[in-house]
Structure 1
Amino acid sequence: MINYLPKITSSRVLVVDDDEINRLLIRETLQQSGLLVEEVESGEEAIEHFRKNPSDIILLDVIMEGIDGFETCSSLRQLPTGLHVPIVMMTGLNDIKSITYAYKSGATDFITKPINYTILAYRMRYMLRANQVFNRLYSNETRLRKTQEIAKLGYWEWNIKQNTFYISKQALKILGLSDSANLQHPQELLNFILQEERESIHTYFSEALHSNKDFVIEHKIITSDNIVKNIYQEAELQQDSNGQEQWIVTIQDITERKKTEAKIVRLAYYDHLTSLPNKVFLNEYLTKIIDQSKCYNQIFAILSIDIDHFKRINSSWGQKTGNELLQQIAARITKCIRTSDYLTRGNLKLPEQACYQPNKSDTLIRLGGDEFVLLLTDINSRIEVQPIIQRIYKVLQEPFITEKENCYLTISTGIAMYPNDGQDTDTLLMQAEMAMHNAKQQGRNNFQFFHKSMNTQVRQRLILENELHKAIEREEFEVYYQPKIELTEYKTVGMEALVRWNHPEKGIISPVNFISLAEETDLICLLGEWVLQQACKHTKYWHKQGFILKVAVNLSTVQLKKPDILENIRKALQDNDLPAEYLELEITEGVLIEDYETSYTILSEIKKIGVYIAIDDFGTGYSSLSYLKKFPFDTLKIDQSFIRDLATDPDSSALTSAIIALSTCLNLKVVAEGIETNAQLDFMKKHQCDEIQGYLFSPPLSYKDFDNWLRNPHHPD
C-alpha cells in the first residue's frame, strides 16, 4: 500500500485552549504523529508566546475566558510573522454565522467539536504541507518579483477572443504609471512610443499580433513623466487553461543596457583622447566604402597623415602637452572636412546591404600616436582632393597654444586613390602610408600622391634594410678617419671616426644612404657600439706608435637614450685601455630639445667619466645660448653649410665669425668642418678658429691609409 501521508517532522504546533483535558488529548494525538506541541490557556498568552517564538501552525479554541478565539486570531494576523501561519479554529458552533466570522478573523480552517482526534492528526499534517507549498510559492513569487524589478522586466497578457487585457505592476512602472492605472487594451501602449517611431511600430505590432507568430521588437518610449527609455518586447502566443489563444508579452527596460553598449562601442571603435574613430572602426568602415564604390563605380581617396617631428614635442614638453596638441590638430582638421552623419551620432550600424549610398562625408580617423587617416568619399577625381588638403594645411599654419608653449606644427600626407592605387583595405592603407613617407623624404610639410615608382623605392629600402642586418653579422663595416688639424702649426691633434659600409657587390656605401635606416630600425645601437670599440682600439694603437691623438665618435640621439650607454662607453675605454681624455663624443643639436632633462643628466654623467663632449653641425638646428651655457660641452663644430659660402655670402661669413667669437666667450674649442679651399683656411686663421677638418688636408681615410697619412702628412701650400 502506498502511503500518501505527507512527512512532516519537527513542526511546532501551538495549542490554545482553556480546557486542560482537551489540551491533553490533543497533545497526545499530535505528539504520536511526530509533531512538537506547545500549550497556552488563553488568547493573551497565545499572542505573547507567538510574538516571542512563532510556531508553524496554531490550533485555536473559539470560546475562552478573556479575549475569545476570533479576536485572538485577528491579533495574531497583525503580527509580522503571523500573516501566513496556518490557524485552525476549534468550535462547537456549527452555524454559518460563526464559520463566516472565523474566516473573517483570519482563520485558515476550522474543526468542530467533538473532535475526531484521528482525523485531527491527518488534517494538521496536510495543513502543514499545504502551508509549506504556499511558502515556497510565495518565496518564489517574491524572488521573481524582485528579480523582475532588478531586471526592469514586466509583462502583459491579451486574450484575443475575450479581448481581455492585463498588465503587471512592473510593466506599469516601466511606463511610468502607478499600480492603480487602468489600461484596457494593447492599443493604449502605442501612446507611449516616441512620435517619430509610432507609425512604424504600430504597423509592425498590428501585423505581428494578427499573424499569430512569435516576435521580438526594440523601440523607444516616452513615459508619463517624460523620460525616454529603450524597450525590448518579446511576444509568445499561448493557450490558456480553457484552450483560448492569448498573447504573453514580456516588456523590459533596456535603457541602461543600451547606454552600456554605447560605452562599449565607444571603447572599441573610438579613440578616447580625440573622440575620433580608431583603427578598428577604419577596417570595418573602409570595407563598407569599398563595397559601395564597387557597386556605384565610384572613386575615393585615403590620406595617411603624420605629424612632423612629433616625438620631439613629447620628449621635450611631455606627454600631457603632446596629447593636448593631438586634440587641437584633430579638431582643426575636423573643421575642414564634411563630417559624416555616422560619426556625429556615434552609430556603427552601417546599412547591411552590400551597396548603399551614404551622405557626402569625409571621415577622420586616428590610428594611434601621431598618425591619422582621412577618407574622402563622393569625389570625381584626384583634382578634388587638393583643395581639401590645402584647406587643412592652411588651418595648421596658425600657432598651437598650450599651457607650456606656443608652437608651430606641420604634417606630411600621403594619398592613395581607389581603385587605381588599390582595391582592398590593406593595399590602400599601405600605398597611402608609402606616399606619406615619400612626403617626409621630400622635406616634410607637403603632400604626395602615390605613384608606382614608390613601390620600387620601398622595395629597395627593404632590401637595404635586410642587407644592413647581414652587414653587421658579416662585419662589412669599416671605420674611416678624417684628421683634425690645429691651425697654428698645422699639427694633427685628432681625428673624427666615420663609418663606411664596404658592400661586397656595391662597394663603399656612404653613411648618408644607411645611417637614417639604421636609426629607424635600432641597428644604430649595435653599429654605434662597434664603431666606438674600433675607434678606441685604433687610437690606442696609434698612441703606442707615438701619435697621441684624440678621437671623436658620433653619438646618435637613439644611442643616447639607451639605458646602457654609460656602460658601453666605459667598456670601450676599459677594453682598449684608452684614457677617457682621448675620447670625444659628438652629438647633434636635436639632442638639446629632445627630453632636455634626461639629455642633460646623461651628458653630465658622460662628462664625469672624463670624456669630452662636442656639439656637431652647430647652427643648423635648435641651438640657443641658454643650451650652450647649461650643457657640459667642450667643443663646438661649425657646420660646413656655413663654411661653403664664406667667399660669396656675407651672412655666412658674419655668422661664422660670430660663432667663433661666441665659443671663445664660452671657453669652447671651435672646430670648422668642410674646409676645402685656401680662402676658407685663411678665414679660419684670421678669426682664430682652433681646429679644422676637410678635404683641403685630407678626405676620410681607411684605417691603413690614415696610418700612412700620420707618418706622411700632406699640408696645403
Structure 2
Amino acid sequence: MAKESKMKDNAKKPSLFVFSGEKESNKSDNHSTHQLKKEPWKVMIIDDDELVHQLTHLVLENFQFNGAPLTFIDGYSAKEAKQLIKKHPDTAVLLLDVVMENDEAGFDVVDFVRKKLGNRFVRIILRTGQPGQFPENKIISDYDINDYKDKTELTSERLNTTLITALRSYQDLQTIETLVGSKNYLEKRVEERTRKIMAINKDLKKAVYFHEKTNRDLAISQDRLAEAQKIAKIGHWEWRPAQGELFWSAQSLEIFSVKTPPEKTNIKHIFRVIPEDARAQIKAALRRLSSGKKSYEFEHEIICPNGGKKIIKQRGKIELSADKQVKKLTGTVQDITETTLADEQMRKLSGAIKQIAEAVIICDKKGTIEYVNPSFSKMTGYNEEEVINQNIVLLKSDKQSDGFYRRMWRTIRRGDVFSNVMISRKKDGSYFYEEKTITPQVNAEGKITHFISTGKDISERMEAMEKLQYLAHNDTLTDLPNRTLFRDRLNQAITRLEWQQRIIAVLFLDVDRFKIINDSLGHDTGDNLLREISRRLEQNVRSGDTVSRLGGDEFAILLSDISRRTDIAPIAEKLLDNLSKPYYIGEQELFVTISIGISTSPQDGEDVNTLIKKADVAMYQAKSKGKNNYQFYTDKDEKKAKRRLTMEVGLRRALEKEQFFLCYQPQVDIATNKVTGVESLLRWRDDQANIVSPFEFIPVLEDTGMITGVGEWVIRESCRQGVAWEAENLNLKVAVNISIRQLQVPGFVKQIETVLNETGFSANKLELELTENLLIEHIKDTSNTFHELHDLGIKLSIDDFGTGYSSMNYLKRLPFDTLKIDRAFIKDIMNDQDDAAIANAIITLAHSMDMEVVAEGVESSPQLGYLKQRHCDIYQGFLCSPPVNHHLISDLIANYPTSLIDSHSHSVS
C-alpha cells in the first residue's frame, strides 16, 4: 500500500509572488503551487524492495532544498506508481525502480507519466539493481528521464547530489513556466492598458474641448478614466491646500485598501496603511515640492488589511501660483506589485541559470543563440561573446547523421520536448557526449518563440559504457571475441550465404588434457598457456576469419568465404601442426595438442545453434579417436548424439522408476581361496526392458551430473545389502565405485556417514574405488576428502592402476589401502613380458607401502597361479564368477571350491 511521509512539520512558507487580486489555484495540477507556497517537495519512491524505501528515507531524513523539507510518497509496483502520480501530479522527483512486476515495469511507468499524463515537470530518476542489464545510452535515448543509476552508485552523498540536481531542474521548469506566462500576460495587459490610456487621454482632451458643450461627454470620459485606472491599477489624487480640498480617485483608494467614501477620506486614512519609513519618505518628498522641486517619483510598500504587502509607485508634481504659493498638488499611485515581483523572480531565475551545473542555451526559433550560461562556456570552451548571435549549428559534429538532426528539429518545432544523447563539438574541435534536453518556449498565444536547451557532459559515462560493451563481447583473458560475439558474427555470415555462392565452416577446438597442466602447474601457467594458444590461433587464420574463446579451454573458429569444403582440411592440419609445437611459459617447456570438430553451412545446417552443436559433436568424435586430430561432422555422429540424448532423457527418470539394480562380482583371497568381498556394479534396464551397457550410460550420468544422485543410491543399496549378508553370517567387504563428481559435492563425507548410520553397515567393510586417471586430474580438490573418509574407517582403493601418469608421486601422500591392477595387464600376463613386469612392479610397490593388491579380469588358472607366485592378495574375474545378483552370492560362496588354486598350481611354469 502506498504511504506518504513528511520529514519535518514545517509551517507553510509565504509565496514567492502572488498576483494582486488573484487567488492561488488549489488545483492539483498547478505546478507552481509548491514554488509559491514553499511547501515540502514531493518525492515519490517506487520500488518493490521495502529495504530500498527504508534506506532512502534514512539517507534523506534531514534533507532540505531551498528551505523546504521532503514529503515521501511510497509505492511498490508499476500499477501503484500510475495511481499515485495521477493523484500527485505535483510530485517533484520520481525515484523509480526498473524491474518490478516485470523487467520493464519502470519503463512502462515513464511512458505513462510522459505520454499519457503529459507530465513534463516531474524529474524521473531510474534506478536498477542489475547493472549492465540495459545499456544506459539507449535508456536515456529512448525514454524521457533525467538520470539512470545503478542502486549501488546511490550512496548517501550521491543520492543527495542527484536529488538536489533534480529538484533544481524541477524548480527551474516551474519558474520558467510561471514567469513566461506571467511576463507575456503582463506585457499584453500593459500594452492593452497603454492603448486604452492613450485613447482615454484622447477622449479627455476631447472632453475638455467640449466641456462647456456637454456635461455628459465629461461624465463618460470620467467613467472611462476610472475604468482605465482600474485596469492599469493606476489611481490619481489632487490636493488644494489653500481650499483644504483633497480628492482621491476610487482606484487610488482601492490600491490603498481604504473603504472610507472618497468625500470623507483624509490623509490619515492613507497614512494608516503606509509603514513608518515610507511615511517619512512621502513627507520628505512633499517638503521638497514645497521648497521648489517641481515633481517627484519613488516606490514604497503598504500593508494590506489581510497582512499582505503591496509595492506602490508614486508620481507627483506641484503647481504654484504667481506669488509662488502652492496652488495645487497632483499625483498618481500605481500598484506595481506584480511587475516588481516578476522582475525579482526573473533576476532569481537568471542567477539560478548562471549557477546551474548544466549548460543552458536559449535561442530563437531559427536557432540563433541569444543566451548561454557560464556552465556552457566551461563545457564547450566558447565564451559568451563568441556565440551570441551565432547559429547553434556551430556545436554540430559530424558524428551523427543528418536524419538525427532533422528528427530533432521536427520534434521541437511541433512543440514537443526533445531529449537524447548528442555528440557535440567543442571550440578546440574535440568531441564530447552531451545529455541534452531541448524545450520549446511558447508565448500567450501558444506560438513557439524560443528553444531552451539544457545539457551536461557525460563523456566519461559513455566511455565507461563503451568499455563495458567491449567486455560484454570479448574474453577478458585473451581479448578474443567471446561466445556472444562469435554467435553474432556466425549469424551474420549465415545471412550473407543467401546471396553468396560460398560456404562457411565452424571449427570447435578443445585443448587435450589441459586440466592436468592447470592443476599441476597452477592457474597462472594455465592462463598464460591459453593466451599463447589464442595468439597462435589468430596467426594461423585469415584476417577475415573469427577466433573466439568460448570458455575454459574451448575455442571456436569461424571460417567465412570458403569456396570448397576441401579447403578446410589444410587449415585444420595447419592448426594441429602449429599448436602442437612446444610452448615456453616462464621456465616451463610445455606440449599440448588439440581436438577439432568441423561443421559447414549450408551442408550441415543454416542456423547458429545447429552449426555449433554439430561442430561440438564432431570434436568429441575427434577426442574419442585419440585426440590431436580433426573430424568433420557426419550423420553417424548425429545418430550417436541422438542416441545419447535419448539415453539422457531415460536416465533422468530411471532412479524414480526403479530401473537401476546392482550386480556383485566376488573378490577372492588368493592365499585362502575364500570369497572375502564383492564389488558392486551398477546396471540399468531401460523402458524397453533392455539391459544397457554401463560403458554407454555411466559417461552420460557423469556428464550430466546425475551420477551424484545415482551414486548415493548405489552406496546406500550396497551398504543395505552388506547388512543383509551379515544376517546370513557372510562377512563380506563391499567395494563401490565412486565418481569424482560425488567427491566434489559439499558434504559428501557427511553423506557417507549418514548412510552408514542409517543402514548399520560397518565403515571398515566399505571400500570406495576411484580410477587412477580421475584421481590424478582432481588430486588437489579431493585430497582432504580422502583423509576425512579414511578417518571414518572406510577403505580406499585406486582402480585401473598403471594406466595413469605419475600416480606413484601421490601414493605416499594419500591414505589408500588397495591398488587394483587393471585387467589390461592381466590379460597377457603369461605371454607379454612388459605386462608381467608392470604387474610385478605394482605388487612390489603396493606391498612396500603396506597396501593390498587386487588383480582384475582373472579368467584362467595359469593367470591365477602366476599371481599367487608373485604374492598378489586378491583376485576377481570370470575364473571365479561374472557379476551376479545378490541372492546368488550366498550359493556361490557355499559351493566355491577351496582347492581351485592348488589344483592348477602345477600348471604354472
Number of equivalent positions: 618
Q: State the 1:632 CA deviation.
A: 0.8
In 2 relative to 1, CA 187–503 (structure 1 residues): closer, same or farther, beyond 3 Å?
A: closer
In 2 relative to 1, CA 118–612 (structure 1 residues): closer, same or farther, beyond 3 Å?
A: farther
Distance 1:479 1:309 in 2: 32
- Report if the CA contact (8 A) 1:59-1:90 is conserved: no
Distance 1:530 1:27 in 2: 110
TM-score, with structure 2 as normaliser: 0.57
Aligned to 1:299: 503
- Report if the CA contact (8 A) 1:231-1:251 is conserved: no
SS in 2 for 1:296: coil
Distance 1:117 1:699 in 2: 136
In 2 relative to 1, CA 142–275 (structure 1 residues): closer, same or farther, beyond 3 Å?
A: farther
- Report if the CA contact (8 A) 1:279-1:366 is conserved: yes
Distance 2:451 2:639 in 1: 68
Q: In the alignment, does 2:909 pair up with 1:700?
A: no
Match of 2:598 among 402, 412, 415: 415
Q: In the alignment, does 2:384 pair up with 1:179?
A: yes
Distance 1:117 1:652 in 2: 137
Aligned to 2:797: 614
Q: What per-residue deviation string (whole Å, max 9, x for no partner) do you get for residues 471-509 of structure 1?
A: 323333332222222222323222222122245746433
- Report if the CA contact (8 A) 2:800-2:823 is conserved: yes
Aligned to 1:425: 608
SS in 1 for 2:580: coil
In 2 relative to 1, CA 542–143 (structure 1 residues): closer, same or farther, beyond 3 Å?
A: same
Q: State the 1:586 CA deviation.
A: 1.0
Match of 2:540 among 333, 336, 342: 336
In 2 relative to 1, CA 251–291 (structure 1 residues): closer, same or farther, beyond 3 Å?
A: farther
Match of 1:139 among 348, 357, 364: 348
- Report if the CA contact (8 A) 1:158-1:186 is conserved: no
Match of 1:189 among 394, 399, 416: 394
Aligned to 2:170: none
Distance 1:594 1:475 in 2: 33
Q: Could you tell me which amino acid in structure 2 is paired with residue 558 of structure 1?
A: R
In 2 relative to 1, CA 310–246 (structure 1 residues): closer, same or farther, beyond 3 Å?
A: farther
Q: State the 1:312 CA deviation.
A: 6.4
Aligned to 1:21: none
Q: What per-residue deviation string (whole Å, max 9, x for no partner) do you get for residues 486-537 of structure 1?
A: 2223232222221222457464333112111112223323332332233333
Q: Could you tell me which amino acid in structure 1 is paired with residue 677 of structure 2?
A: G
In 2 relative to 1, CA 63–259 (structure 1 residues): closer, same or farther, beyond 3 Å?
A: farther
- Report if the CA contact (8 A) 1:213-1:236 is conserved: no
Aligned to 2:850: 667
SS in 1 for 2:826: helix
Q: What per-residue deviation string (whole Å, max 9, x for no partner) do you get for residues 40-85 of structure 1?
A: 99xxxxxxxxxxxxxxxx9997999xxxx9xxxxxxxxxxxxxxxx
Q: State the 1:581 CA deviation.
A: 1.9
Q: In the alignment, does 2:429 pair up with 1:229?
A: no
Question: Which residues in structure 2 correspond to 1:33-52 (within 5 Å)?
Answer: 33=273
Q: What per-residue deviation string (whole Å, max 9, x for no partner) do you get for residues 113-142 of structure 1?
A: 77999978x54x51x432321232233344
Q: What per-residue deviation string (whole Å, max 9, x for no partner) do you get for residues 120-177 of structure 1?
A: 8x54x51x43232123223334444555x43x454666969xxx77674565554423
Distance 1:681 1:416 in 2: 50
SS in 2 for 1:559: helix
Q: State the 1:605 CA deviation.
A: 1.7
Match of 1:281 among 479, 482, 485: 485
SS in 2 for 1:436: helix
SS in 2 for 1:581: helix
In 2 relative to 1, CA 62–338 (structure 1 residues): closer, same or farther, beyond 3 Å?
A: farther
Q: What per-residue deviation string (whole Å, max 9, x for no partner) do you get for residues 216-241 of structure 1?
A: 99986764446443579999999999
In 2 relative to 1, CA 493–61 (structure 1 residues): closer, same or farther, beyond 3 Å?
A: farther
SS in 2 for 1:461: helix
Q: What per-residue deviation string (whole Å, max 9, x for no partner) do you get for residues 259-301 of structure 1?
A: 2442453354444454444444344443332222212233211
Aligned to 1:554: 737
SS in 2 for 1:479: strand
Distance 1:529 1:7 in 2: 82
Distance 2:529 2:831 in 1: 42
Q: Could you tell me which amino acid in structure 2 is paired with residue 131 of structure 1?
A: T
Match of 1:266 among 438, 449, 470: 470
- Report if the CA contact (8 A) 1:92-1:113 is conserved: no
Q: Give the alignment's Cα RMSD to 1 decimal.
A: 5.1
Q: What per-residue deviation string (whole Å, max 9, x for no partner) do you get for residues 200-221 of structure 1?
A: 98x9999x99xx9999999867
Question: Which residues in structure 2 correspond to 1:19-30 (within 5 Å)?
Answer: none
Q: In the alignment, does 2:872 pair up with 1:689?
A: yes
SS in 1 for 2:719: helix
Distance 1:584 1:690 in 2: 16
Q: What per-residue deviation string (whole Å, max 9, x for no partner) do you get for residues 176-205 of structure 1?
A: 233343687659938x967xx79x98x999
Q: What per-residue deviation string (whole Å, max 9, x for no partner) do you get for residues 373-394 of structure 1?
A: 3322122123333343344434
Q: Could you tell me which amino acid in structure 1 is paired with residue 838 of structure 2?
A: L
In 2 relative to 1, CA 497–453 (structure 1 residues): closer, same or farther, beyond 3 Å?
A: same
Question: Which residues in structure 2 correspond to 1:24-423 (within 5 Å)?
Answer: 32-33=272-273, 93=293, 123=334, 125-126=335-336, 128-147=337-356, 149-150=357-358, 152=359, 154=361, 168=372, 173-181=378-386, 189=394, 223-225=426-428, 227-230=430-433, 255-256=459-460, 258-266=462-470, 268-308=472-512, 326-339=530-543, 361-397=544-580, 409-423=592-606
Q: Could you tell me which amino acid in structure 1 is paired with residue 541 of structure 2?
A: I
Q: State the 1:32 CA deviation.
A: 4.5
Aligned to 1:72: none
Aligned to 2:638: 455
SS in 1 for 2:834: helix
**Higher relative CO (CA 8 A, sep ≥ 6), structure 1 or 2?**
1
Aligned to 2:322: none
Q: Could you tell me which amino acid in structure 1 is paired with residue 343 of structure 2?
A: F
Q: In the alignment, does 2:714 pair up with 1:531?
A: yes
- Report if the CA contact (8 A) 1:497-1:552 is conserved: yes
In 2 relative to 1, CA 557–245 (structure 1 residues): closer, same or farther, beyond 3 Å?
A: closer
In 2 relative to 1, CA 205–712 (structure 1 residues): closer, same or farther, beyond 3 Å?
A: closer
Q: State the 1:4 CA deviation.
A: 5.8
SS in 2 for 1:337: coil
Q: In the alignment, does 2:836 pair up with 1:653?
A: yes
SS in 2 for 1:295: coil
- Report if the CA contact (8 A) 1:478-1:499 is conserved: yes
In 2 relative to 1, CA 32–494 (structure 1 residues): closer, same or farther, beyond 3 Å?
A: same
SS in 2 for 1:294: coil
Aligned to 1:592: 775
In 2 relative to 1, CA 294–117 (structure 1 residues): closer, same or farther, beyond 3 Å?
A: farther
In 2 relative to 1, CA 372–30 (structure 1 residues): closer, same or farther, beyond 3 Å?
A: farther
Q: Could you tell me which amino acid in structure 2 is paired with residue 482 of structure 1?
A: Q
More displaced 10-residue stretch of structure 1: 513-522 or 622-631 = 622-631
SS in 1 for 2:342: helix
- Report if the CA contact (8 A) 2:441-2:452 is conserved: no
Q: In the alignment, does 2:833 pair up with 1:629?
A: no
Distance 1:178 1:547 in 2: 101
In 2 relative to 1, CA 247–304 (structure 1 residues): closer, same or farther, beyond 3 Å?
A: farther
Give the unaligned 5+ runs of structure 1. 11-25, 42-57, 70-88, 100-107, 340-360
- Report if the CA contact (8 A) 2:441-2:450 is conserved: yes
Distance 1:680 1:90 in 2: 145
Q: State the 1:614 CA deviation.
A: 0.9
Q: Could you tell me which amino acid in structure 1 is paired with residue 381 of structure 2?
A: G
- Report if the CA contact (8 A) 2:397-2:431 is conserved: no
Question: Which residues in structure 2 correspond to 1:706-717 (within 5 Å)?
Answer: 706-714=889-897, 715=900, 717=904
Q: What per-residue deviation string (whole Å, max 9, x for no partner) do you get for residues 408-461 of structure 1?
A: 554443322111111223322332233233333334443322222222212211
Question: Which residues in structure 2 correspond to 1:567-578 (within 5 Å)?
Answer: 567-578=750-761
Distance 2:433 2:626 in 1: 54
